[in-house]
Amino acid sequence: MKAFQYVRANTAKSALEALVKDPSAQFIAGGTNLVDLMKRGVTAPDKLIDISRLPLNRIEKEATGVRIGAMALNSQVADDKLILDKWPLLAQALNAGASAQLRNKATVGGNMLQRTRCGYFYDTEMPCNKRQPGTGCGAKEGYNRMHAIFGTSEHCIAVHPSDMCVALVALDATVVVQGPKGERTIPFTEFHRLPGDRPEKDNTLEKDELIVAVTLPDSPYTQHAHYLKVRDRASYAFALVSVAAALELEGKTIKSARLAMGGVAHKPWRLQEVEKALVGKTVSEATFQQAAQQAMAGARAYEYNAFKLKLAPNTIVEALKMAAGLTA
């Protein structure tokens, strides 16, 4: 690993000033992904600015929702009573991610910024447009079992690896970022991006900005919500497909719905058209089968991930059934 300088920031302002002074520097918080990337030579910053002690780890109830500091640990959010009571979908998704040890180190901001786990991205001998733009995509004609079925481009077919972000996009989260010009907010649906012809860019954060918080509006999805993750082993594995499903019910009628998928696209894949179509329908296996079919419009598989074309709709149906209480 290349030698690097290490500095610690105590305020968001000083962290941003240090970054502006040295644009080649990178922030580090929990380091659960960045250190791996540095060890493998995927990234080699000259300087790390440690932001893990910034006073941004509080989970605070606000008038119309909750504000979660970017430095809050994944385990802290998953165990928080307010989150468990009001946004259980988020707690479920967090607990489905990584291992207990990693959740005790990883921060909310870092979880959002983690890089894809595409094997070609991590192997510096292989072509990868995300790691080194213009070199090609090793996965397209390679072993692409974990890769995307929605929103791909000829330049990249990687998926975003987070579970937490699938729940956040379903729950209408907003990202609060701070930069030289002050604070701005980004709807979660617009935070991560599709690869297009710039696969090296995972999100819409500017180079001189810092994530300071995520906010969630008050949610009617406290009773009928389920995060279902299908993976190769029971823990510490990335999703083949995951689904965040939440229903607001009046008797057996769906008043509103939230639905998003993970493991299928370069960004957490929100299904707003399917949500709209579910409104007014009666809770049943047939309703959910129809929703799953609609969700798969436009899906495209590669040589080794065609199984996702079947797994994804099955997972949607199962997650919706669990959210509705049709399946234990």
- List residues binding ligand SF4 (CB under 6 A): 116, 118, 120-121, 128-130, 137-139, 156-158, 199
Q: Residue 123, exposed/middle/buried by CB under 10 A (0-12, 13-18, 19+)?
A: middle
Query: Measured from the CB atom, is 97 or 142 closer to ligand SF4?
Result: 142
Shortest Å, Cβ 130 to ligand SF4: 4
Q: How far is the CB of 158 from ligand SF4 (least distance, A)?
A: 4
Contact at 8 Å (CB) between 279 and 257? yes
Map residue 256 onto helix, strand or coil.
strand
Residue 30: CA count within 13 A, CB half-sphere: 23
For the bound state, the minimum distance from the C-beta of residue 160 to ligand SF4, rounded and expressed in Å, comes to: 11
Angle at 271 between CA 268 and CA 272, to 5 degrees: 125
- Total length of the chain: 328
**How many Cα neighbours within 13 Å face the side chain of 208?**
12
Contact status, residue 182 vs residue 223, Cβ threshold 8 Å: no
**285-295 vs 308-324: helix axis angle to the nearest 10?**
140
Single-letter amino acid code for the residue at 134: G
Min dist CB 88 to ligand SF4, Å, is 33
Helix, strand, coil in percent for the chain, rounding step 5? 30, 25, 45
CB of 132 to ligand SF4, least distance (A): 9
Minimum CB separation of residue 254 from ligand SF4 in Å reads 36
Q: What SS3 class is residue 269?
A: strand
Starting at the edge strand found earlier in the chain, the sheet holding 65-69 runs 59-62, 65-69, 210-217, 174-179, 182-187
Between 160 and 258, CB nearer to ligand SF4: 160
| Least gap, CB of 188 to ligand SF4 (angstroms) | 22
Cα separation of 28 and 9, whole Å? 10
If the CB atoms of residues 139 and 259 are measured against ligand SF4, the closer one turns out to be 139
Nearer to ligand SF4, 139 or 216 (CB): 139
